[in-house]
Structure 1
Amino acid sequence: MNFADNLASLPPVDHLSALELLEGDAVVARIENKPGQAGSLGVYHALYQDFGAIDSVAADRGLRLYAEHTADAAAHPGKHPNIDRLIALRENGQPLAVRLILA
């Protein structure tokens, strides 16, 4: 399946305005529910629901969900920061906690 099909199969994120990724108490990323980020919000939210945090196992699943965009991110580092983060997590395994920001 491609990213659009994968995204359509994920739980809705209408109830969220954003999701924050944390290392300890430090916010390392914020993914907002807005055009250009809503797809990533859906992926990260689904990973959080399934795994309780974003670790190397969750990252591996996330990269499969991003489908064709994962290959593009690998070929063009920096172009897809939310995918780049999952690639790094899959390699180093340092988990990130998740904070949901309700709409």
Structure 2
Amino acid sequence: MNFSAILETLPTVDHLTGLNILNGETVVRHIPAAPGKFGSLRVYYALAQKFNGKLDRTSAEKGLELFAEHTADAKAHPGKHPNVDLLMRVIAENHRYLLQPLLK
């Protein structure tokens, strides 16, 4: 399945203003509910739901699967897909973060 088809299977994010990725109390990354970011927001929100708000090696691997063809593109072009790059860093450096959906 490609990314567009996968997105159709993920939970909607209409009720969110964004999502924070936290290291303790520190926001490592914020994904806003904004044009060009909705795909990433849906992926990270799905991970938050499936993995009880935890972003670790296991959930990051699932996230790379969900990003489909964008994962290969991110590997070929570091920096082009920062939200995919973050998942690869979580795996490579064994980070553990919390996913905090922000409700409207």
TM-score if structure 1 supplies the norm length? Answer: 0.97
Offset, 1:64: 0.5
TM-score if structure 2 supplies the norm length? Answer: 0.96
Tell me if structure 2 keeps the 8 A contact 1:20–1:98: yes
For residues 7 and 61 of structure 2, the distance between their equivalents in structure 1, rounded to whole angstroms, comes to 16
The answer for unaligned runs of 5 or more in structure 2 is none
Asked if 1:50 is matched to 2:53, the reply is no
What one-letter code is carried by the residue in structure 2 that aligns with 1:98?
L
For residues 49 and 92 of structure 2, the distance between their equivalents in structure 1, rounded to whole angstroms, comes to 22
Measured against aligned partners, the alpha-carbon deviations of 1:40-70 in whole angstroms (never above 9, x if no partner) come to 0000000010112111100000001000000
Offset, 1:77: 0.4
What one-letter code is carried by the residue in structure 1 that aligns with 2:7?
L
Tell me if structure 1 keeps the 8 A contact 2:22–2:28: yes
The answer for unaligned runs of 5 or more in structure 1 is none
Tell me if structure 2 keeps the 8 A contact 1:10–1:46: yes
Q: Which runs of 4+ in 1 moved over 4 A?
A: none
For residues 94 and 16 of structure 2, the distance between their equivalents in structure 1, rounded to whole angstroms, comes to 26
Residues matched between the structures, number: 103
What one-letter code is carried by the residue in structure 1 that aligns with 2:88?
I
Tell me if structure 1 keeps the 8 A contact 2:48–2:100: no
For residues 18 and 51 of structure 1, the distance between their equivalents in structure 2, rounded to whole angstroms, comes to 18
For residues 7 and 82 of structure 1, the distance between their equivalents in structure 2, rounded to whole angstroms, comes to 15
Alignment of 1:1-103 (within 5 A): 1-52=1-52, 53-103=54-104
